[in-house]
Amino acid sequence: MTEHECRACRRQDGHIVLDLDDQPACDYFPTYDDSGPDPVYPLQMWLCAHCGLAQLLEDPTTPEEPKGAEPAALVAQAADAVARVTAAGLLPAGARVAEYGSPHGGSWLDNLAGQGLKPVDDGGEADVILDCFGMMHAADQAAALAERAGRLAPGGVLLLQFHSIETILRTGQWNALRHGHFAYYSATALAAMMDSLAATSRARLSPRTAWLFDLYGGTVLLAVQRDGEGRAADGTITALRDGEERAGVTRPAAYERLQRDVRARAEALHGWLAEMKASGKSVVGYGAASRAVALLRTAGVDADLLPAVADASPGKAGTRMPGTRIPVITPAALVDRAPDAVALFVSDLLAEVRAAYPQVEAAGGQWVDADALGIDR
């Protein structure tokens, strides 16, 4: 393999800090009667020693990027975020807004139009640019940041929302690593990316303030201003970067525990499912999300231990979990099975699914957070 070049600063000095071995493309849901084998590809995280950006090492897959059902937690967070950014005076009525959305869905534009902002056409200059889990999908991170900065009017604000690498380390969410997601940000690495951009272009971006949300265990919304001379970052940025420094987000040593979490969580899931089976109890999964794919495969869990995973996306019923023989079923089929336990692979859905499928608990079933198994902190 040729030396990896950082997706942001182009340096070649870095380390593989997380190795999930070979994994199927997590968006590749074969039909149930497709007997496979599903192609697998190396899945590794690389940490740049120069700019500190954690990133996907290589991606030989062709992402399908299907839009899943939008979790209620994501919709609620968007409304909360728009209210908080508006209260900070960063979403003035009449401002031109552009959005770089996630291919998985979840637009804020209706919400922002409701605040009196005016959406601009593709490529047009904007006073506010919103990037909600969008930029992580760009293989060339330096180019992606330059593109956004280039569209921003002087004094304009870029709002960047990301699932932070500090959260991933703190909660042991190694299965956030997936093909198609090229960057795992910290405010620290983003600041280095902005410094590089300023050195190579006329666009000077400066972090101003940040908000934290509980989504995915810890999501950051960073407000960055273009050419806002003379204004300093506020205390939220300092606190964020201090927390990242303590967590060691730019140091390979901090990732050793994350690599140990791979085995710990895989063994805990396998052990729990084997115990449930041995005691004659039925378990069904919920959430055919990308993070479930790597977790099930790493844990060596197949249809003998987990006979089905339910998912609300209409496009996924009738498929199977990549790399396994586990069928994806509808939530209605899950309710019909009245399982003793449901392994939830997307923690943020807990409140929503408990409310949507009260029959599960009414029949004596229990929702179990699969992300928490094997995590003792």
Q: Under rule CB under 5 A, which residues in 35-94 are in contact with Zn ion?
A: 48, 50-51
Nearest approach, Cβ of 141 to Zn ion (angstroms)?
8
For residues 59 and 178, give the distance between their C-alpha atoms in angstroms, rounded to a whole number: 9
With tokens 């449930």, the residue in question is 276
For residues 59 and 238, give the distance between their C-alpha atoms in angstroms, rounded to a whole number: 34
Residues with Cβ < 8 Å from 127, sequence gap 6 or more?
A: 92, 95, 96, 97, 152, 153, 155, 156, 157
For residues 73 and 289, give the distance between their C-alpha atoms in angstroms, rounded to a whole number: 15
Q: Which is nearer to Zn ion, 9 or 247 (CB)?
A: 9
Joined together, the tokens standing for residue 182 give: 């090229």
9 binds Zn ion (CB under 5 A): yes
Q: Which is nearer to Zn ion, 99 or 166 (CB)?
A: 166
6 binds Zn ion (CB under 5 A): yes
Beta bridge partners of 310: 286, 329
Nearest approach, Cβ of 182 to Zn ion (angstroms)?
12
Residue 34 burial by CB count (10 A; 0-12/13-18/19+): exposed, middle or buried? exposed
191 binds Zn ion (CB under 5 A): no
Whether the Cβ atoms of residue 293 and residue 43 lie closer than 8 Å to each other = no
8 binds Zn ion (CB under 5 A): yes
Nearest approach, Cβ of 304 to Zn ion (angstroms)?
44
Nearest approach, Cβ of 50 to Zn ion (angstroms)?
5
Q: Which is nearer to Zn ion, 50 or 257 (CB)?
A: 50
Q: Which is nearer to Zn ion, 48 or 210 (CB)?
A: 48
Nearest approach, Cβ of 189 to Zn ion (angstroms)?
8
150: helix, strand or coil = helix
Nearest approach, Cβ of 58 to Zn ion (angstroms)?
15
Q: Which is nearer to Zn ion, 9 or 292 (CB)?
A: 9
Q: Which is nearer to Zn ion, 147 or 267 (CB)?
A: 147
334 binds Zn ion (CB under 5 A): no
Q: How many residues bind Zn ion (CB under 5 A)?
A: 6
Nearest Cα residue to 261 out of 186, 171, 164: 171
**Contacts with Zn ion, residue ranges (CB under 5 A):** 6, 8-9, 48, 50-51
